[in-house]
Every structure is written in structure tokens, then in C-alpha cells.
Amino acid sequence: MASLYLAEEIRGREEGDLQRIKLVFEYEGTRYHGLQVQENAHTVQREMESAIHNLTGEWVKMLFAGRTDTGVHAVGQVGVFDSGSTIPADRWAYALNSYLPEDVRVRSSEAAGADFHPRYQALSKTYRYLVYRSGAGQVFYRDRALCCRDTLDIEQMRKAAALFQGVHDFRAFCASGTSVKTFAREVYRCELHEESPLLWLDIEANGFLYNMVRIIMGTLLEVGRGKLPAERISQILDSLDRSQAGPTAPPQGLYLLKVNYPGG
């Protein structure tokens, strides 16, 4: 069906007559060395751009709402690219899914303004960190959640999570190697939920630092294990010292859930 679609719909436009296409897509990140293209590495971006090339013959450069690291997943990643194809904007999702592997799927496609940038125009992003707390079934969750059977004080973890809300300097919750100049971020929501055997953290903010969510989750688990009092979170934030926070939780539990833009 895709080949028929290609024959009927793809016609090259005049040079410079390009349409910006916005995609919302999901991927299971286990097989990939992150989202963005890297030298000699299998990435989601490479799969996406190869699928576009196979569909239209064009090599494009995609822009994304945010990068995800090796093993991290996405439910609502956003990407854009410019194309000279005449495929209607709302048909790109159907067309591309015929060329993508089963662990990468485009959920929706639409036309975007020529100046739309998925990162710089985002109002907020929401991440989820998933913990699986049962012995049985770990074989199915080992690549999609942190498998943890430790006894955890969930109420203390909830109290600690609430202290991340608001505007803070998150330097203590940022991995080294970042190039950012400012560490202040506003967290709109940081909530812990439980539905056995799953425990998950949902966190929405106007931006995130490198490994910020994973360090927050690692610190909350230390609170749950009784190694840190919940009230210590405020002191750690004020310290601006990464060594005061907990370990970085592993990547497989992290999901980019949604990116929010003006107008919904």
C-alpha cells in the first residue's frame, strides 16, 4: 500500500517550496543509543530520517523537542522537518509507519509554521519514571522500568516529591558535562502514584537539565528506603551540590510523555 501511495502522492515541488511537517511519535528506546544521530550508533533519529528518505527520496534534518539518552523511551516526542513532497500533512503518519521499525511509531502528523521549533516553543514537558515492584514478571519489564523490590515508604516519597515543585536552582540534580548557563527551572507538578505492582513519578516543568528526572527519582528512592528524610530535599536544592543528592536512576524507567505548546 505504501508503494501505491508513493506513486500517487509524491511529486517534487519547486526548489524552496517546502512544507514544515510536525510529527508526534513514540519509541521503545531499548535498541537505540538515544534519540539524536551519533557517529557509528543506532539512533531513533537515524531511523526516522531513513524512513523519510525511503518514502520520498529526500534527506532531511529533523529537529526535536528534546533529546533522550540510550535506553530511554518516549510516548509523545515531537519532531519537525521540511519536505518538498506533496504528501498531505495529515497523511505522513500513515505513510511513514510503513517504513519504520515496530519499536518506532508516528502517532500523528500535521503542518507547522515555517518558524516552528519543537524545542524553543515548548511551554512545558512531562516525563514519567516507572518502577516495577514485583518479582514475577520482571522479565517483561526489565527494559521498560526499574525493577525494584525494596521496601519503600511511599508517603515519605510523596512528601519529598512535593518539595521539588516551584522555581529552584536544580544544580544539585544535574549530571556533569552539561553546557547550560542557567540551572533554574520551574517544576509545575511532581507527583508519585502507585497501582501495584507499578509505582511511577510524573513530573512537568518548563525545562529539564541533563539527567534531572533520573537524579530526582534516584533521590526519592533513597527517601523511600529510609536513607534520607523527606525534609532533606530542600537542603539538597539549596546546596547546589550534586554529591548531596541520590544516585542517578537507570534509563529504562524514563519516558517522555508529552510536550505542551501554546494553543494546546
Active-site residue set:
69
CA distance 2 to 73: 27
Q: Which of 174, 167, 159 is nearest to 229 (CA)?
A: 159
Measured N-to-C along each axis, helices 2-9 and 44-56 cross at an angle, to the nearest 10 degrees, of 60
- Which residue bears the cell 515555517? 114
Alpha-carbon span 224 to 151, nearest angstrom: 8
Candidates 69, 56, 73, 72; CA nearest to 21 is 56
CA gap 106, 127 in Å, rounded: 19
Helix (H) or strand (E) run with residue 223 in it: helix 212-224
DSSP codes, 71-127: T-EEEEEEEEEEE-----GGGHHHHHHTTS-TTEEEEEEEEE-TT--TTTT-SEEEE
- Cell numbers 519516558 label which residue? 255
